[in-house]
Amino acid sequence: MSAPARAAPLLVFDLDGTLVETAPDLVATLNVILAREGMAPVPYETARNFVGGGARLMLAQGIKADGRIVEPARLDRMFADFIAYYADNVAVHSRPYPGLTDALDILEDRGHRFAVCTNKLEHLSVLLLNELKLTGRFAAICGQDTFAIAKPDPEILRRTIAAAGGDTGRAIMVGDSETDILTARAAGIPVVAVDFGYSEKPVAQYKPDRLISHFAQLPDEIAGISFDN
């Protein structure tokens, strides 16, 4: 008798720069908060590369770009203002990347389930995906505050996989940055990188297992990743 077929691997996606083009709304929010504090705006092409480490880091980089140093209490206040403004403007211009929904349909038909592992705060991640009508696609949506752990610590990825009912031995990460690749490597799972996200250097330099330039390529690349178990 042949062995029963194994479940298709769980696919764990980064959010900003991978599933959704969020930089327009994040950069707009950053520059609103900087302007309130009398600081210069950051050009879009520079600030888009600040995305991925979370709002506090994005703010810190924006402040540094203006040549400023601020005390922790002021940064805390700016962070709170950033979160409040962004929550009200989370999907003004943010959109799923081309081909995403078609790729998810194909992969779902092949038995894959999906999760999100992001350094965005969980409630903002859920709010954004709700606005884009994508929330129901994911078995778990986990942010840096979900477990008080942020990428590249692999524990956030392991816990996201567990929250989605998956197995670290049969999971694949999909992301856009060195951080995502380091996280996946440390967790011992394969990683597919997208080259259209927010990596300051070409993401191919970080040697992901697979690289795609459009979501239409994702189903075939996922199918090409083999597991020993």
Fold held by 10-21+95-223 = Rossmann fold (3.40.50)
Instruction: For residue 125, give both structure tokens.
Output: 């991640």
**Which residues in the chain are classed under CATH 3.40.50.1000?**
10-21+95-223
pTM of the predicted structure, to 2 decimals: 0.94
C-alpha span between 188 and 73 (Å, rounded): 38
- 10 Å Cβ neighbour count for 218? 22
Determine if the peptide bond prior to 152 is cis (ω within 30°).
yes
Mean pLDDT of the chain: 95
DSSP label at 170? Answer: G
pLDDT grade, residue 3 (50/70/90)?
Answer: very low
Q: Which residue out of 14, 16, 25, 180 is catalytically annotated?
A: 14
Fold held by 23-88 = DNA polymerase; domain 1 (1.10.150)
> Does residue 25 carry a catalytic annotation?
no
Q: Does the pLDDT value for residue 188 go beyond 80?
A: yes
Average pLDDT on 157-171 reads 97
**Which residues in the chain are classed under CATH 1.10.150.240?**
23-88
pLDDT of residue 229: 56
- 10 Å Cβ neighbour count for 43? 11
pLDDT of residue 5: 61
Question: Pairing mode, if any, of strands 20-21 and 95-96?
Answer: antiparallel
pLDDT of residue 2: 45
By C-alpha distance, which of 12, 14, 17, 65 is closest to 200?
A: 17
Burial class (CB in 10 A: 0-12, 13-18, 19+), 196: middle
pLDDT grade, residue 228 (50/70/90)?
Answer: confident
pLDDT digit string (tens) for 76-116? 999 999 999 999 999 999 999 999 999 999 999 999 999 99
